[in-house]
Amino acid sequence: MKWWGWGQEGVAFHHHDKPGLAPFAYRMAGIDFNAPPVQVPDLAELDVPASQAPDGLRSALVEAVGAEHVHDDDLTRVVHTYGKSMRDLVRIRRGDFGRVPDLVVYPVDEAQVEAVLRTGLDSDAVLIPFGGGSNIVGSLEAPRDESRPVVSVDLGRMRSVIEVDETSQTARIQAGALGPDLEAQLNARGWTIGHFPDSFKHSTLGGWIATRSSGMQSDRFGDIADITRAVRVVTPKGVVATRAVPVQSAGPSVREMVLGSEGRLGVITEALVQVHRLAEERVILAYFFPDYGSGLRAMHDVAASDAAPSITRVSDAMETQFTMATAKKGSRLSALMSKGVKVYAEKRKGIDLDKMCLSFIGYEGSKEHVARTKRLVGEIVKKHGGFGVGSGPGTLYDQKKFDTPYIRDFILDRGAYGDVSETSSSWATLEVLHDNVVAAANKAFAEQGTQGFVFCHLSHSYHSGACQYFTFAFQPPAEGDGLAVYDAVKHAIQQAFIDNGGTLSHHHAVGREHKPWVGDDLSSAGAQIVSALFQGVDPGRNLNPGAIVD
Ligand SMILES: Cc1cc2nc3c(=O)[nH]c(=O)nc-3n(C[C@H](O)[C@H](O)[C@H](O)COP(=O)(O)OP(=O)(O)OC[C@H]3O[C@@H](n4cnc5c(N)ncnc54)[C@H](O)[C@@H]3O)c2cc1C
């Protein structure tokens, strides 16, 4: 993972084969894709605060995990300082490192995690579990003024699928397994976990559980909260091991308390997760709707029907235009729009192309299931004035989904900012929430004296509502601090979620960035219960203090 950006070293976004993208970014936000990139600083030239680890703590940790698994070099410590939000990327490139961990340790099994925890508590150190470091809500950073030693506990050596129970359709997996690690091991035995967040390549099972993550096929497989049936967690009270049962009526759910706990209760070492046989058939079809409202109503009808797709996704008009702008020259997506679709939509269906919205629906399972679901969805799409355009764009989306995040670094290299905020709300509130969030973001752009754009898609449908995922980007004014503009826009979007019946996050968690809205979201009494839970388990505030609640 790059210390200054997203993903693998040597992999970067470029736009030269996407002729529509630079004009779109310039028109909508004044972002100049052809501007020369700013140079990412050399870490050696930045002032990384020195490790303050006391010798006693270091030697006790060496005893726990071995000398080669205790690191204190600048690069390793910087990589473990923040997650990957826009704030994190800006701060790290500026050399604003905050409180860098003093040591990074890599335990290999649960016994070593217990030894690390005991050592940390005995020394009154701060311990922060680290998965892939991909969170975008400030989940990982120690308080800037933390005077105690800070230790990042990286689960990166614990990445095995321990066993698959083919009868119960579950797997025991170590918490440090990255998406590709665990999926390759499961696929080799004919199984899948069915959890594919956009960060799949660089996030871990433990991180997914600790943030209540959601993958793009959640309509079929569930969110990680559904997928995770049992957990093992090393806590200051001992090892918590919930039973390997499908459901429990045994008081408040300890499994649920661990879900979303962001390292504040302990270190998750393994989980029992539901797994599924690899599907006989898998296809993503694309559709167009006359406008976002009709797309939302269609997704609602799909959720209420007997159809059971794996993905339901519809973009608003602005996101549709963005997606079209990312089409490669000569690709099936650009051919689609330049040829028949435009004419068909405009002339035959009477659709206003500026309002038209792109939708992807995924189908996965047996041939019969796929055929039946396609038929049911097709009828609903038609009822809402939509029409299908086949599997070409969906295949492209499926192939490129893990590459898209690299675009954030590309625009940051050109001095522009971009990020995402997402929420869930009831079917009854979705459209109004969408419109009010877009209005709030545009108002914030205007108040900050900047030109920007915001767009959205619905994804992850449920019985009673869905997630809406907003992306925003802007070119900060030449004068002033771009991060302050970012904070103002992000704040306006988050506040609009709460004011319009949404939650502070559907799947990105709380961390430190979303803390101001916890009281609104959970109620004041609810937030106090969460604080009391953390205080009861970890009275010394040694475990990731300051995440979720103070
Ligand atoms: C480009 C991009 C795309 C993304 N797409 C999605 C998406 O589609 N869906 C989604 O849900 N999220 C997404 N995210 C957010 C992020 O990937 C998730 O929050 C992910 O679950 C974090 O996992 P991680 O292993 O990287 O955790 P980290 O970032 O390392 O840690 C996150 C939190 O979990 C705690 N933690 C980690 N491991 C453990 C453990 N073993 N025990 C206890 N606590 C632990 C940490 O202390 C921290 O508080 C995206 C992020 C980026 C940058």
DSSP labels, 239-252: EEE--S-S---SSS
Index of the ligand 1 atom closest to the CA of residue 214: 11
Report how far ligand 1's centroid is from the alpha carbon of 264 (Å).
14
Is ligand 1 within 6 A of the CB of residue 362? no
Alpha-carbon separation of residue 536 from 120, 252, 432, 541 (angstroms): 18, 15, 40, 10
Alpha-carbon separation of residue 256 from 252, 281, 407 (angstroms): 8, 33, 35
Which residue has 């040597």 as its token pair? 10
Index of the ligand 1 atom closest to the CA of residue 134: 26
Whether the CB-CB separation of 131 and 203 falls below 8 Å is answered with yes
The tokens describing 373, both together, are 């679901």
CATH level 2 (architecture), domain 281-401: 3-Layer(aba) Sandwich (3.40)
Specify the fold of 161-277: 3.30.465
Is ligand 1 within 6 A of the CB of residue 505? no
* Burial class, 96, CB count within 10 angstroms (exposed 0-12 / middle 13-18 / buried 19+): middle
Which residue has 């809205």 as its token pair? 517
- Residue 337's pLDDT is 66
Residue 26 has pLDDT above 80, yes or no: yes
* Between 403 and 351, residue with greater pLDDT: 351
- Residue 345's pLDDT is 87
- Residue 156's pLDDT is 98
Q: Where are the domains of the chain?
A: 42-154, 161-277, 281-401, 514-550
Is ligand 1 within 6 A of the CB of residue 508? yes
Helices vs strands, H then E, count in the chain: 21, 18
Report how far ligand 1's centroid is from the alpha carbon of 210 (Å).
7
* Between 345 and 221, residue with greater pLDDT: 221
- Residue 399's pLDDT is 78
Residue 90 has pLDDT above 70, yes or no: yes
Residue 14 has pLDDT above 90, yes or no: no
Same fold, 42-154 and 281-401: no
Q: What is the Rg, in whole angstroms, of the alpha carbon atoms belonging to the chain?
A: 23
Whether the CB-CB separation of 359 and 314 falls below 8 Å is answered with yes
pLDDT in tens, 422-457: 999 999 999 999 999 999 999 999 999 999 999 999
Residue 336 pLDDT class (50, 70, 90 cuts) = low
Report how far ligand 1's centroid is from the alpha carbon of 342 (Å).
40
* Residue nearest to ligand 1 atom 37, measured at CA: 207
Best residue among 112, 114, 134 to mutate for probing ligand 1, ranked by most atoms within 8 Å of CB: 134
- Mean pLDDT across the stretch 294-322? 97
- Residue 39's pLDDT is 84
The tokens describing 415, both together, are 């001095």
CA distance 501 to 521: 9
Report how far ligand 1's centroid is from the alpha carbon of 145 (Å).
24
Is ligand 1 within 6 A of the CB of residue 6? yes
Index of the ligand 1 atom closest to the CA of residue 128: 47
pLDDT in tens, 376-432: 999 999 999 999 999 888 887 877 778 888 999 999 999 999 999 999 999 999 999
CA distance 543 to 124: 10
CA 266 from centre of chain: 21
Residue-by-residue DSSP string for 180-247? HHHHHHHHTTTEE-----TTGGG-BHHHHHHHT---TTHHHH--HHHHEEEEEEEETTEEEE--S-S-
Is ligand 1 within 6 A of the CB of residue 263? yes
* Burial class, 353, CB count within 10 angstroms (exposed 0-12 / middle 13-18 / buried 19+): middle
Report how far ligand 1's centroid is from the alpha carbon of 203 (Å).
6
Is ligand 1 within 6 A of the CB of residue 546? no
Alpha-carbon separation of residue 377 from 90, 240, 267, 367, 460 (angstroms): 43, 43, 42, 15, 16
Index of the ligand 1 atom closest to the CA of residue 216: 8
Report how far ligand 1's centroid is from the alpha carbon of 267 (Å).
14
Report how far ligand 1's centroid is from the alpha carbon of 372 (Å).
35
Q: Quick one: what percent of the chain has pLDDT higher than 90?
A: 88
- Residue 332's pLDDT is 67
- Residue 188's pLDDT is 97
Residue 251 has pLDDT above 70, yes or no: yes
Is ligand 1 within 6 A of the CB of residue 545? no
Whether the CB-CB separation of 437 and 493 falls below 8 Å is answered with yes
* Residue nearest to ligand 1 atom 27, measured at CA: 207
Q: Using alpha carbons, select from 487, 509, 497, 489 the residue that is nearest to residue 423.
A: 497
Helix/strand/coil (H, E, C) string of 344-390?
HHHHHCCCCCCCCEEEEEEEEECHHHHHHHHHHHHHHHHHCCCEEEE
Which residue has 């459901």 as its token pair? 247
Is ligand 1 within 6 A of the CB of residue 206? yes
Is ligand 1 within 6 A of the CB of residue 313? no
> Domain 42-154 carries which CATH code?
3.30.43.10
CA distance 214 to 193: 12
- Bridge partners of 547, per DSSP, are none
Query: Which positions are catalytic?
Result: 469
Is ligand 1 within 6 A of the CB of residue 132? yes
Instruction: Work out whether strand 451-461 and strand 311-315 pair parallel, antiparallel, or are unpaired.
Output: antiparallel
- Residue 395's pLDDT is 81
Index of the ligand 1 atom closest to the CA of residue 84: 53
Index of the ligand 1 atom closest to the CA of residue 204: 25
Instruction: Work out whether strand 161-165 and strand 170-174 pair parallel, antiparallel, or are unpaired.
Output: antiparallel
Best residue among 112, 202, 211 to mutate for probing ligand 1, ranked by most atoms within 8 Å of CB: 211
Report how far ligand 1's centroid is from the alpha carbon of 292 (Å).
30
Whether the CB-CB separation of 329 and 19 falls below 8 Å is answered with yes
CB atoms within 10 A of CB 172: 17
pLDDT in tens, 170-210: 999 999 999 999 999 999 999 999 999 999 999 999 999 99
CA distance 286 to 223: 23
CA 283 from centre of chain: 23
In this structure, what DSSP letter does residue 200 have?
A: G
* Residue nearest to ligand 1 atom 33, measured at CA: 262
Q: Which amino acid is at 201?
A: K
Is ligand 1 within 6 A of the CB of residue 5? no
Is ligand 1 within 6 A of the CB of residue 506? no
Is ligand 1 within 6 A of the CB of residue 107? no
Best residue among 135, 139, 257 to mutate for probing ligand 1, ranked by most atoms within 8 Å of CB: 135
Is ligand 1 within 6 A of the CB of residue 151? no
In this structure, what DSSP letter does residue 99 have?
A: B
Report CA torsion sign: 203, 205, 206, 211. Answer: positive
Instruction: Work out whether strand 238-241 and strand 161-165 pair parallel, antiparallel, or are unpaired.
Output: unpaired
How confident is the prediction for the chain on average, in pLDDT?
95
